[in-house]
C-alpha cells in the first residue's frame, strides 16, 4: 500500500492526534528498561528503544484480569451467581510494536481462538487494537527472528509499519484497519529516495542476524525421540524455574484462574499469568504431579515452543526470536542453543 | 459474544453421602434457568467445570447419563479447597456448572460391539453415566454383551450401591463387583484386586472394546491382563486426569504434547497415548 513520511519534528503532533481518538500504547522508558504503557502525554513515547523488557502481550491479555464478579451476601437474591464484569474494549493503538511481537500475536490467536472456543476478552481486545509497528534497523545480538519465520522488517502481523530513516519515519499502511486509524492524521507522501533507503536498512538489518537453528529439522524429528532424549539433563541443569522466560515471552499465554474475596461479601474470579516452569502448574489435589521434576518442566517449555506448536498448527515454531528469554535468564539458558540441540539431536557444542 | 468461561447457575437439589468414609458425596443439580439444560447437552464420558463463587472451579466427570432428564449429577471426592467447601454445602445452595467439556467415549464406534468396563475407586463416575446410558431401553440393543468389573478397597467404599445391586439382578449386564478385602460375612460378591478378577472372569476380546478408569496402579496391572486376553491398544480406552483450569484448551496447563486433555481428551485409546509424551 501507500508509503508516507513523517518528519521527526511532526511526530509528537501525530501521536497527539491519535491520542485524541484512541488509547495509545507506546514504549516508555522505565528506569533501565522500556515498557509499553498507555500514553498520558505524547512526549513520553520513546522510539529510541531496542525492545521492551516485557512483551506487549499484556495490552491484550493483562497479567491480572478480572473475569467475573459475584456477591456472597446471604440476603442478596443473586448470591453466588457468577456474572460478567464490565470491560472497556474501546479502540486502541500499539505504536512502536516490533515486527516479532506483532507476529507473536498471530501465533497467540491460534491458541485463544480455536474453531471450537473463542476467548472473548482476547478476541475483543485484538479486534479493537491497531498495530503500528516499528521496523528494527539495528537488531540486538540476541535477536534471531529470521530463524523463526519473521524478521526485522516483517509486516505480517502489522497494520502499519514505521521505518526510522534518520530525519523521519517512512510509514507503510498495510491493512484496512491501519488505513482507518491513520486516516485521521495528516500525512505527506514519502520523498522518492525513501524506498531505496528502506531496502538498504532492511538488507543491513537482516544481514546482521545470524541463523540460529533449523526449525524444519525439529519439525521432522519424532516427538518421542526428542522427548526421551538424554540431552534434557544437560539443558535443564542450571534452570532455577524462576519463570522469567515465560513471563517475558510474547507467545506464553498460560494462565491460572483464582477466586478472590473482598470484605467477605463480594468476590472476583481472576485470571493471572502462570508458567509451566512452576511445579504447582500441574500439581493434582491428590499430591500426584506429572511434572514434578525440574527437567520435565524445562522440557515442556522448549518442546512447546519449538516442537508441539509446530506439530499442532504446521505454521512454524511458537517462538518469534525476540530474544527476551536469552537476555533475561539469570543462568544464561539460551533457546537458540536448545534449538540447535533439538534439530541435531546432539548436545555437542555448536 | 458467547463466553465459554461463564458458568450456568445451578441449585443443589440433593447431597448424598456415598461412602462410609464420607469422602465421596453425590451432588444433584438443577439448572436455575431451564433453557441452560438444553445448552448443556452432554454425552457419557464428558466432564464439567463446577464453580463455587469465592472458592474456584474444578473439573468433575459427569456421573448422570444424558438419558436422565431434569438434573445433572456429580460425585465429588474431598481433596482440597473447592471439594472440601462443596462437602459442606447443602440442598438449596447456589453454585455454577460450565461445559460440558472434553470428548466422550466413542459411542458411534462402540455400536454393535461388546463392552468390558473396568473401574476402580471413585473413577467410576463417568462409567456409571455410560452404564445407565447403555441400559436405557432405547440404547441397549445397540451394544452387545456388557461386562463390568468394579472394585473398591472394601464394601463401604463402593459408589452407587443401590444401583449396583439393581444391575446385579439384571440379565443384560454381567456385573463383577469386587473388594480388596472385607470382614463382612454376608459379602456376596468377589474378593480380590481388579486385575486378578478381570483375569479370572476373562471377558472375551472378540468384537470387544475395554473402557478402563481408575487409580494408576490398577490401570498399570490391568493393562497386561487385557493384552493377554487379546485386546489390542486401539480397543482399550481410558480417561485421564490432569490439573485443569480453563477446561477448553486455552490456559495451557493440561497438555500431553500437542493434545490438551481438557479439550482433545480426557478420553484416549491406549494406542493414541502410546504416541504422546508419557506425562500424566
Ligand atoms: C477430567 C477430570 C474428571 C474428574 N472427575 C472427578 C470426579 O468425578 N470426582 C472427583 O472427585 N474428582 C474428579 N476429578 C479430580 C478433581 O478435579 C480434583 O480432585 C479437584 O480439582 C481438586 O480440587 P480442590 O480444589 O479440592 O483441590 P486443591 O488441591 O485445593 O486444588 C486447587 C485447584 O487445582 C486444580 N486441581 C487440583 N487437583 C486436580 C486434579 N486432580 N484434576 C484437575 N484439577 C485439579 C483445580 O483447579 C483446583 O481447584 C477429575 C479430574 C479431571 C481432570
Ligand atoms: S529464565 Fe532461565 S532460569 Fe528462569 S525459568 Fe527460564 S530458563 Fe529457567
Ligand atoms: S512455554 Fe510453558 S508457559 Fe509458555 S505457553 Fe508453553 S506451556 Fe505455557
Ligand atoms: S485446562 Fe486449560 S488447557 Fe486444559
- The domain limits of chain B are 8-100, 107-239
Domain count, chain A: 2
Cβ–Cβ below 8 Å for B83 and A116: no
Any atom of ligand 4 within 6 Å of the Cβ of B195: no
Q: Do B275 and A116 touch (CB under 8 A)?
A: no
Correct CATH for B107-239 of 3.30.450.30, 3.40.50.80, 3.90.1720.10, 3.30.420.40: 3.40.50.80
Helix (H, G, I), strand (E, B) or coil at B248: coil
Tell me which residue in B1, B9, B263 faces A81 most closely, judged by beta carbons: B9
Chain-chain contact of A257 with B250 (C-beta, under 8 angstroms): no
Q: For position B123, what pLDDT does the model report?
A: 87
Below-70 pLDDT ranges, chain A = 1-2, 347-350
- Residues in contact with A335: Cβ distance below 8 Å, sequence separation at least 6, in sequence order: A245, A302, A305, A306, A319, A325, A326
Question: Looking at the structure, do residues A90 and A123 belong to the same domain, yes or no?
Answer: yes
Q: pLDDT above 90 covers what percent of chain B?
A: 94
Q: Which three cell numbers stand for residue A347?
A: 548436545
In this structure, which ligand is nearest to the CA of A245? 2
Nearest to A267 among B54, B79, B255 (CB): B54
Euclidean distance between CA atoms B12 and B198, whole angstroms: 37
Instruction: Give yes or no for residue A329 CB within 6 A of ligand 2.
Output: yes
pLDDT band at B121 (very low <50, low <70, confident <90, very high): confident
Say which residues have a Cβ less than 8 Å from residue B45's Cβ, sequence separation at least 6: B102, B103, B104, B105, B126, B129, B130, B239, B266, B267
**Which of A168, A188, A207 is the last residue before a domain boundary?**
A207
Is residue A350 included in any domain, yes or no? no
Which residues of chain B neighbour A290 with C-beta distances below 8 Å? 242, 279-280
Same domain as A147, residue A95 = yes
Is residue A257 included in any domain, yes or no? yes
Same structural domain, A339 and A235: yes
Per-residue pLDDT averaged across B14-36, rounded?
96
- For residue A298, tell me if it sits in a domain: yes
- Measured from the Cβ of residue B197, the count of other Cβ atoms closer than 10 Å reads 22
Taking an 8 Å cut-off on Cβ atoms, the answer to whether A255 and B245 are in contact is: yes
Domain co-membership, A185 together with A221? no
Q: Is residue A182 a part of any domain in this protein?
A: yes
Cα–Cα distances in angstroms (integers) from residue B98 to residues A94, A124, A182, A347, B72, in the given order = 34, 21, 42, 46, 12
Closest CA to A152 of A134, A165, A168, A170: A134
Choosing from A181, A207, A233, the residue where a domain stops is A207
Closest ligand 2 atom, CA of A277? 5
Query: Three-state DSSP class for B29?
Result: strand
Q: Are residues A103 and A192 in the same domain?
A: yes
Q: Which of residues 68-107 of B touch A (CB under 8 A)?
A: 79-80, 83, 93-96
To which residue does cell 472378540 refer? B206
- Tell whether A98 and A159 lie within a shared domain: yes
Q: Ligand 4 pocket test: pick from B256, B260, B279 the residue with the most ligand atoms within 8 Å of its Cβ.
A: B260
pTM: 0.94
Residue B213 has pLDDT above 50, yes or no: yes
pLDDT (0 to 100) of residue A2:
61
Q: Do A257 and B56 touch (CB under 8 A)?
A: yes
CATH homologous superfamily of B8-100: Translation factors (2.40.30.10)
pLDDT, residue A130, reads 98
B277 touching A (Cβ < 8 Å):
yes
Looking at ligand 4, which atom is closest to the CA of residue B254? 4
Can you tell me the mean pLDDT for B20-30? 96
Q: Give me the pLDDT at residue A349, please.
A: 54
- Would the CB atoms of A308 and B243 count as touching at under 8 Å? no
Pairing of strands A83-84, B190-191: unpaired
DSSP string of A231-250? THHHHHTT-----HHHHH-T
CA distance linking residue A132 with residue A178, whole number of Å: 7
Residue A141 in domain = yes
Q: Say whether B107-239 and B8-100 share the same fold.
A: no
Residues A203 and A284 both lie in one domain: no
**ipTM over the 0.90 cut-off:** yes
* CB atoms inside a 10 Å sphere around CB A1: 12
Give the CA angle between residues B196, B197, B198 to the nearest 5°.
90
Ligand 4 mean position, distance from CA B68 (Å): 28
Domain boundary among A207, A236, A267: A207
The predicted-structure confidence for B221-244, as pLDDT tens digits, reads as follows 999 999 999 999 999 999 999 999
Report helix angle A335-344 to A294-303, nearest 10.
80
pLDDT digit string (tens) for B134-163?
999 999 999 999 999 999 999 999 999 999
Q: Does A315 touch chain B (CB under 8 A)?
A: no
- Do A244 and A191 share a structural domain? no
Q: In which domain, by residue range, is A180 found?
A: 3-207
Instruction: Check residue A104 and give its pLDDT.
Output: 97
A108-165 pLDDT, tens digit per residue, is 999 999 989 999 999 999 999 999 999 999 999 999 999 999 999 999 999 999 999 9
Residue A1 has what pLDDT? 45
* A52-72 residues labelled b (16+ CB within 10 A) or e (exposed): bbbbbbbbbbeeebebbbbbb
Q: Is the dihedral of CA B246, B248, B250, B254 positive or negative?
A: positive
Examine the domain organization and report whether A155 and A274 are in the same domain. Answer: no
Amino acid at each position: 500500500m501507500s508509503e508516507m513520511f513523517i518528519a521527526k519534528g511532526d511526530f509528537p503532533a501525530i501521536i497527539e492526534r491519535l491520542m485524541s481518538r484512541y488509547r495509545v500504547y507506546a514504549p516508555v522508558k522505565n528506569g533501565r528498561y522500556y515498557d509499553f504503557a498507555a500514553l498520558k502525554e505524547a512526549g513520553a513515547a520513546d522510539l529510541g528503544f531496542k525492545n521492551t523488557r516485557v512483551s506487549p502481550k499484556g495490552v491484550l491479555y493483562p497479567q491480572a484480569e478480572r473475569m467475573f464478579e459475584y456477591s456472597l451476601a446471604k440476603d442478596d437474591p443473586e448470591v453466588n451467581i457468577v456474572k460478567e464484569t464490565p470491560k472497556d474494549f474501546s479502540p486502541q493503538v500499539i505504536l512502536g510494536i516490533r515486527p516479532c511481537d506483532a507476529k507473536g500475536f498471530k501465533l497467540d490467536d491460534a491458541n485463544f481462538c480455536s474453531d471450537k472456543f473463542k476467548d472473548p476478552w482476547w478476541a475483543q481486545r485484538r479486534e479493537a487494537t491497531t498495530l503500528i509497528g516499528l521496523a528494527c534497523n539495528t537488531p540486538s545480538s540476541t535477536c534471531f527472528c529470521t530463524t523463526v519465520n519473521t524478521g526485522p522488517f516483517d509486516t505480517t502481523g502489522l497494520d502499519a509499519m514505521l521505518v526510522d530513516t534518520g530525519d523521519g519515519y517512512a510509514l507503510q499502511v498495510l491493512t484496512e484497519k491501519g488505513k482507518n486509524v491513520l486516516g485521521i492524521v495528516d500525512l505527506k507522501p514519502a520523498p522518492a529516495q525513501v524506498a531505496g533507503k528502506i531496502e538498504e536498512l532492511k538488507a543491513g538489518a537482516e544481514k546482521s542476524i545470524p541463523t540460529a537453528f533449523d526449525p524444519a529439522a525439529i519439525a521432522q524429528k519424532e516427538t518421542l525421540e526428542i522427548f526421551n532424549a538424554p540431552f534434557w539433563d544437560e539443558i535443564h541443569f542450571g534452570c532455577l524455574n524462576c519463570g522469567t522466560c515465560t513471563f517475558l515471552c510474547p507467545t506464553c499465554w498460560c494462565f491460572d484462574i483464582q477466586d478472590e474475596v473482598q470484605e467477605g461479601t463480594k468476590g472476583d474470579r481472576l485470571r493471572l499469568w502462570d508458567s509451566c516452569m512452576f511445579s504447582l502448574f500441574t500439581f493434582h489435589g491428590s499430591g500426584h504431579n506429572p511434572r514434578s521434576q525440574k527437567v520435565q518442566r524445562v522440557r515442556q517449555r522448549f518442546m512447546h515452543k519449538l516442537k508441539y506448536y509446530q506439530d499442532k498448527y504446521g505454521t512454524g515454531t511458537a517462538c518469534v526470536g525476540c530474544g527476551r528469554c536469552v537476555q533475561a535468564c539469570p543462568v544464561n539458558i539460551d533457546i537458540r542453543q536448545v534449538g540447535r540441540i533439538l534439530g541435531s539431536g546432539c548436545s555437542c557444542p555448536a | 459474544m458467547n463466553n465459554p468461561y461463564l458458568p450456568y447457575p445451578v441449585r443443589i437439589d440433593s447431597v448424598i453421602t456415598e461412602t462410609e468414609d464420607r469422602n465421596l458425596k453425590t451432588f444433584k443439580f438443577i439448572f436455575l434457568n431451564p433453557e441452560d439444560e438444553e445448552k448443556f447437552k452432554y454425552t457419557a464420558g464428558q466432564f464439567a467445570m463446577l464453580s463455587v463463587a469465592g472458592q474456584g472451579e474444578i473439573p468433575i466427570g459427569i456421573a448422570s447419563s444424558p438419558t436422565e432428564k431434569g438434573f445433572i449429577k456429580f460425585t465429588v471426592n474431598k481433596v482440597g479447597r473447592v471439594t472440601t467447601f462443596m462437602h459442606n454445602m447443602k440442598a438449596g445452595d447456589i453454585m455454577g456448572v460450565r461445559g460440558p467439556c472434553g470428548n466422550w467415549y466413542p459411542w458411534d464406534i462402540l455400536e454393535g460391539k461388546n463392552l468390558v468396563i473396568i473401574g476402580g475407586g471413585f473413577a467410576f463416575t463417568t462409567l456409571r453415566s455410560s452404564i445407565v446410558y447403555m441400559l436405557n431401553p432405547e440404547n441397549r440393543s445397540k451394544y452387545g454383551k456388557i461386562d463390568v468389573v468394579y472394585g473398591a478397597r472394601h464394601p463401604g467404599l463402593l459408589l452407587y450401591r443401590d444401583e449396583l445391586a439393581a444391575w446385579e439382578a439384571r440379565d443384560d449386564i454381567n456385573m463383577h463387583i469386587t473388594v480388596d478385602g472385607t470382614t463382612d460375612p454376608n459379602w456376596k460378591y468377589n474378593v480380590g484386586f481388579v486385575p486378578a478378577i478381570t483375569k479370572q472372569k476373562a471377558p472375551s476380546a472378540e468384537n470387544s472394546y475395554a473402557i478402563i478408569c481408575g487409580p494408576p496402579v490398577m490401570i498399570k496391572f490391568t493393562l497386561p491382563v487385557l493384552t493377554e486376553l487379546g485386546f489390542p491398544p486401539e480397543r482399550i480406552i481410558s480417561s485421564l486426569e490432569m490439573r485443569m483450569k480453563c477446561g477448553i484448551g486455552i490456559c495451557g496447563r493440561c497438555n500431553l504434547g500437542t493434545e490438551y486433555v481438557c479439550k482433545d481428551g480426557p478420553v484416549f485409546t491406549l494406542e493414541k497415548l502410546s504416541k504422546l509424551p508419557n506425562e500424566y
